[in-house]
Chain A
Amino acid sequence: MKATVTVMLKTGVLDPQGEAVKSALHGLGFDGVSSVRQGKVIELDVADGTTEAEIGAMCEQLLANTVIESYSVDMS
């Protein structure tokens, strides 16, 4: 089975990359973009029966730095 982890900088933590992407989009004429946040998606192939709590533990211990990042887990 697959688990998909999305890691984003927490709201309020400056995202310099997102800001640069926003500027580039504005440069292309996409003026309607008011904010860009860039994160990462991590896909895991895990044993059947792996629980969301186990994936959460992976996030807490390694996949995300919870000082600055939040994460969400999708097991579908």
Chain B
Amino acid sequence: MRAAVIVFPGSNCDRDMQQALLGAGADVQMVWHKDANLPKGVDLVAIPGGFSFGDYLRCGAIAAQSPISKAVIEHANRGGYVLGVCNGFQILTETGLLPGALIQNAGLKFLCKTVDLIASTTNSEFTRGYELGQTLRIPIAHHEGNYRIDADGLSSLKEEDRIAFRYAQTPNGAEDDIAGVLSQNRRVLGMMPHPERAIDNNLGSSDGAAMFSGLVSSMLDA
């Protein structure tokens, strides 16, 4: 499986993402945001966490206008896989690839801790390694993780089984405890928690590893 990790000025989880994908057996290339094209044959594009462009204007707003973002949108529209974590999730909502938006945490504090996440669907290549309702220990580290979506959007997400992860207890005020959502074709996932920081028990949890191994094995099967 060939993966590309996008690097923006201010990305700070890009190497964690690279390590998580390498550990799962993917061939990983780092791609600078000014590149207009993705490497040929890329199956998965990973948009890492961080503070792209210093969170100026809105988190992810400037990154969504970078040259590479157009290529990522085309990749997604061709049916390619995209994983956006934390700032990556914010960027995906800003590009319009995922619905809703992320605003400041309800408590106004930057939250950095490990939380209980509930796997809310297993129907995606990202989540097929989990059991429905399984509790995962995954770290969060964000200030704008409060997921907002209008009532119609929320009912569509529920009807189409597109809520990938919920918080066991929302730390940030997110609508319906939503921590991660899938695109309509189930190939784009955005999530605030960091599975790439939970791939080794020495780092507190390895519950994120199944996402990366699941992705890699599904694309080897393909």
Instruction: Enumerate chain A interface residues (CB-CB to B < 8 A).
Output: 9, 13-14, 16-17, 20, 62-63, 65, 67-68
Contact = CB atoms under 8 A, between A and B. Distances in A.
Contact of A68 (B57, B103, B107): B103
Contact of B57 (A9, A17, A62): A62
Contact of A17 (B94, B108, B148, B173): B108
A68 B148 contact: yes
B109 to A, nearest CB: 10
27 contacts: A9-B103, A13-B148, A14-B103, A14-B106, A14-B146, A14-B173, A16-B104, A16-B105, A16-B107, A16-B108, A16-B146, A16-B173, A17-B104, A62-B57, A62-B61, A63-B57, A65-B58, A65-B61, A65-B101, A67-B93, A67-B99, A67-B100, A67-B101, A67-B149, A67-B150, A68-B103, A68-B148
A63 to B, nearest CB: 7
Nearest to B94: A65
A32 to B, nearest CB: 23
B146 A62 contact: no
Contacts of B104: 16-17
Interface of chain B, main secondary structure? loop
Taking residues whose C-beta sits less than 8 angstroms from the other chain, chain B's interface range is: 20 to 34
A65 B103 CA distance: 11
Interface of chain A, main secondary structure? mixed
Contacts of B150: 67
B108 A13 contact: no
Contacts of B106: 14, 16
The 10 closest A-B pairs by CB, nearest first: A67-B101, A68-B101, A16-B104, A16-B108, A16-B106, A65-B101, A20-B108, A68-B148, A65-B58, A13-B148
Interface string B105-143: 111100000000000000000000000000000000000
Interface in B67-114: 93-94, 99-101, 103-108
